[in-house]
């Protein structure tokens, strides 16, 4: 009896699928589009085979090689089945440009992010669309514009401390954990107005350590909520997780109270404190819940990303010692104090940072949901040159890191670390480079981050004569957390000039 019910349901399901597919194909033709190549699933119903091979590649740390081989086989845009949902994968620069810029109003994120994140983050710039998102962006724009210029000052002492922690006798150091601590210190100071002070051991308050542990627990809960999808509410019964969220919230709420009090006491006295995002937000609103949501929505994407970005620069330079020599020539040629202006004038430094973000973009891929029917310019037909129809509800995964390796855009040496390519602007493809995304949701911290990366690089290049790779593994093995970092760290040794 049960077997019969099962068979009837299965037949019903397949018949329904068949008619849906027919209707879909008719719509494609009606719009003058051609269907994109289809991934050849072994499991055509749920697509578990691709899910498993993707999970395997992520745990092996070679998910980009996996993506690369799929694009090699199916073309720059193709369709897959993910648990019965249609998901497009693309590395095509014109499609990515359409998703991020020309069709940005149709390709959204809230439905993909809010369910997993709202009860921890609240609603803010990272997890909403529409008016709520627009309002946040408008509030943040002037703050980040000022931050890129005024935030270098308080990096100085912290970088002094970092240099103090690097051995000068040529023994091996892993730069990744040091840089993570440094940027955790600066980002908590910039966002909340209170640094966790993790770089120099013994300077962190208990409260700050507690906050960090709780934040990581809260993130793990978000990971589980993402996996649970529609059943995310089940995760809410985890009291341990709830407690962790409360610890994070009370750390932030306390800083909000301090900032509001300071503002109300004396709005002129801002001379001593460094430039703090929270202080700026408090000038616009004193709604505590709103403030906390905004801060968390910024801290989440900010967390380790700058540290990973600059660590990757050293990962690559350590494997290309001639680049270090060339950097040294440029940096030692200019003995002015390192500030916003001098950094702007150091062209090779900037090129090295850009080239690193091309080859190892810290996130590398991203997901959008098509909230209306629309058309992407490329990927259909036998040669992939026809437009493709994207039905409302389709998820599109765009792999910009693969686009950064596209030989059609970057030439035959696309795989090589060659900062010199940035000397000629005509060798940089117009829509082919988006390490900070593009369009309305471009990373608001982009200019600040580029300046900070250049600053750290210049300081270390001034300090040390040579850098040497101490990692026996030549290639980049991925470790996927919230962002993607080097699993083997960035193990190098420095030599001091004699």
Ligand X SMILES: *[C@@H]1O[C@H](CO)[C@@H](O)[C@H](O)[C@H]1NC(C)=O
Annotated binding site for heme: 443
d(Cα 255, Cα 189) in Å, to the nearest integer? Answer: 11
148 contacts ligand X (rule: CB under 6 A):
no
Query: What does DSSP say about strands 484-486 and 478-480: parallel, antiparallel, or unpaired?
Result: antiparallel
**Which residue, among 119, 137, 126, 129, has the nearest Cα to 248 in the 3D structure?**
119
The least distance separating ligand HEM from the CB of residue 198, rounded to whole angstroms, comes to 16
Select from 113, 350, 401, 418 the one that contacts ligand X (CB under 6 A): 350
Nearer to ligand HEM by Cβ, of 28 and 454: the residue is 454
DSSP 105-164: TTEE-HHHHHHHHHHHH-S-TTT--HHHHHHHHHHHHHHHHHHHHHTSTTHHHHHHHHHH
Long-range contacts of the stretch 8-13 (C-beta < 8 A, 24+): none
Q: Which residue stretch of 114-122, 301-309, 322-330, 342-350 sits at the interface with ligand HEM (rule: CB under 6 A)?
A: 301-309
Closest CA to 93 of 81, 83, 102, 105: 102
With CB atoms as reference, the residue minimizing the distance to ligand X is 354
Are 82 and 50 in contact, with CB atoms under 8 Å apart?
yes
Quote the tokens at residue 232: 């995310």
- Binders of ligand X in range 384-423 (CB under 6 A): 422
Residues 78-137 that bind ligand HEM (CB under 6 A): 109, 125-126, 137
Query: Minimum distance between the CB of residue 447 and ligand X, rounded to whole angstroms?
Result: 8
Q: Answer with the entry of ligand X, ligand HEM, none that 127 interacts with (C-beta below 5 to 8 A by kind).
A: none
Residue 45: name the closest of 16, 77, 75, 3 by CA. 16
Q: Considering only residues 420 through 439, tell me which ones interact with ligand X, judged by CB under 6 A.
A: 422, 428, 435-436
- Using CB under 6 A as the binding rule, whether residue 363 contacts ligand X is answered as no
**Phi/psi zone of residue 33: left (φ > 0), alpha (ψ -120 to 50 degrees), beta?**
beta
> Cα(121)–Cα(443) distance, rounded to whole angstroms?
18
| CA–CA distance, 122 with 178 (Å, rounded to integer) | 31
Specify the pairing of strand 85-90 against strand 395-398: parallel
Q: Does 349 bind ligand HEM (CB under 6 A)?
A: no
With binding defined as CB under 6 A, does residue 78 bind ligand X?
no
Considering only residues 245-274, where is the footprint of ligand HEM by CB under 6 A? none
Q: With CB cut-offs between 5 and 8 Å by kind, which of ligand HEM, ligand X, none does residue 306 bind?
A: ligand HEM
Contacted by 422, from ligand X, ligand HEM, none: CB < 5 to 8 Å by type: ligand X
Mask for 181-200, x = binds ligand HEM (CB under 6 A)? ------x-------------
Binding to ligand X by residue 464, rule CB under 6 A?
no
According to the binding rule CB under 6 A, does residue 298 interact with ligand HEM? yes
Helix (H) or strand (E) holding 90: strand 85-90
Radius of gyration of the chain (CA): 24
Tell me which of ligand HEM, ligand X, none is bound by residue 290, counting a contact when its beta carbon lies within the kind-specific cut-off of 5 to 8 angstroms: none
- Ranges within 355-374 binding ligand HEM (CB under 6 A): 362-363, 366
Nearest CB to ligand X, comparing residues 181 and 358: 358
**Spatial CA neighbour of 155 closest among 396, 454, 474:** 454
- What mask, x for binding ligand X by CB under 6 A, covers residues 181 to 220? ----------------------------------------
* Ranges assigned E (strand) in 314-465: 366-370, 374-380, 386-390, 395-398
114 binds, among ligand X, ligand HEM, none (CB under 5 to 8 A by kind): none
In the list 81, 306, 386, 451, the residue contacting ligand HEM (rule: CB under 6 A) is: 306
Task: Please identify, using beta-carbon distances, which residue of 305 and 469 lies nearer to ligand HEM.
Answer: 305
Q: What angle, rounded to 10 degrees, do the helices at 446-463 and 321-332 form?
A: 90
- Beta-bridge partner residues of 374: 390
Residue with tokens 């542990």: 213
Give min distance, CB of 422 to ligand X, in A. 5
In whole angstroms, what is the distance from residue 26 CA to residue 30 CA?
6
Binding of residue 312 to ligand HEM (CB under 6 A): no
Span interacting with ligand HEM, options 20-28, 47-55, 267-275, 430-438, rule CB under 6 A:
430-438
Residue in 35, 37, 301, 429 binding ligand HEM, rule: CB under 6 A: 301
Under the binding rule (CB under 6 A), the answer on residue 486 touching ligand HEM is no
Q: Which residues bind ligand HEM (CB under 6 A)?
A: 109, 125-126, 137, 187, 298, 301-302, 305-306, 309, 362-363, 366, 435-437, 441, 443-445, 449
> Can you give the binding site for ligand X, defined by CB under 6 A?
350-351, 354, 422, 428, 435-436
């Amino acid at each position: 009896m049960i077997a019969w019910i099962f068979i009837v349901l299965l037949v019903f399901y397949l018949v329904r699928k068949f008619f849906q597919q027919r209707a879909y194909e008719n719509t494609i033709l009606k719009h003058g589009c051609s269907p994109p190549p289809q991934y050849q699933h072994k499991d055509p119903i749920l697509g578990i085979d691709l899910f498993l091979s993707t999970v395997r590649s992520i745990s092996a740390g070679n998910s980009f090689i996996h993506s690369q081989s799929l694009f090699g086989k199916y073309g720059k845009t193709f369709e897959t089945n993910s648990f019965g949902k249609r998901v497009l994968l693309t590395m095509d620069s014109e499609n990515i440009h359409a998703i991020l810029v020309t069709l940005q109003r149709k390709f959204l994120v809230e439905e993909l992010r809010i369910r997993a994140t709202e009860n921890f983050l609240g609603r803010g710039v990272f997890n909403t669309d529409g008016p709520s998102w627009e309002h946040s962006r408008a509030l943040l724009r002037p703050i980040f514009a000022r931050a890129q210029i005024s935030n270098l000052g308080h990096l100085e002492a912290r970088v002094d401390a970092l240099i103090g922690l690097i051995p000068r006798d040529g023994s091996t150091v892993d730069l990744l954990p040091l840089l993570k601590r440094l940027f955790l210190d600066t980002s908590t100071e910039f966002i909340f107005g209170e640094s966790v002070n993790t770089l120099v051991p013994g300077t962190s308050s208990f409260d700050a350590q507690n906050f960090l542990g709780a934040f990581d627990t809260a993130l793990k809960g978000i990971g589980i909520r993402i996996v649970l999808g529609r059943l995310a509410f089940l995760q809410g019964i985890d009291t341990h997780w709830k407690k962790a969220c409360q610890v994070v919230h009370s750390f932030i709420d306390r800083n909000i109270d301090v900032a509001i009090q300071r503002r109300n006491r004396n709005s002129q006295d801002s001379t001593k404190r460094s430039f703090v995002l929270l202080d700026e937000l408090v000038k616009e609103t004193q709604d505590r819940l709103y403030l906390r949501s905004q801060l968390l929505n910024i801290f989440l994407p900010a967390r380790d990303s700058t540290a990973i970005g600059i660590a990757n620069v050293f990962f690559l330079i350590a494997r290309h010692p001639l680049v270090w020599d060339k950097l040294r020539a440029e940096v030692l040629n200019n003995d002015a104090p390192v500030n916003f202006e001098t950094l702007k004038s150091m062209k090779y430094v900037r090129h090295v940072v850009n080239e690193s973000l091309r080859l190892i973009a810290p996130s590398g891929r991203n997901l959008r949901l098509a909230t209306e029917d629309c058309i992407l310019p490329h990927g259909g037909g036998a040669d992939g040159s026809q437009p493709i129809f994207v039905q409302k509800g389709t998820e599109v995964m765009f792999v910009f890191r693969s686009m950064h390796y596209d030989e059609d855009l970057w030439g035959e040496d696309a795989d090589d670390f060659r900062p010199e390519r940035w000397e000629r602007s005509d060798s940089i493809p117009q829509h082919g480079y988006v390490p900070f995304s593009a369009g309305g949701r471009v990373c608001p911290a982009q200019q600040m981050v580029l300046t900070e990366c250049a600053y750290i690089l210049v300081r270390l290049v001034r300090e040390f004569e040579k850098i040497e790779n101490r990692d026996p593994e030549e290639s980049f093995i991925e470790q996927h957390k919230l962002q993607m970092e080097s699993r083997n760290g960035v193990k190098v040794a420095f030599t001091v000039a004699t």
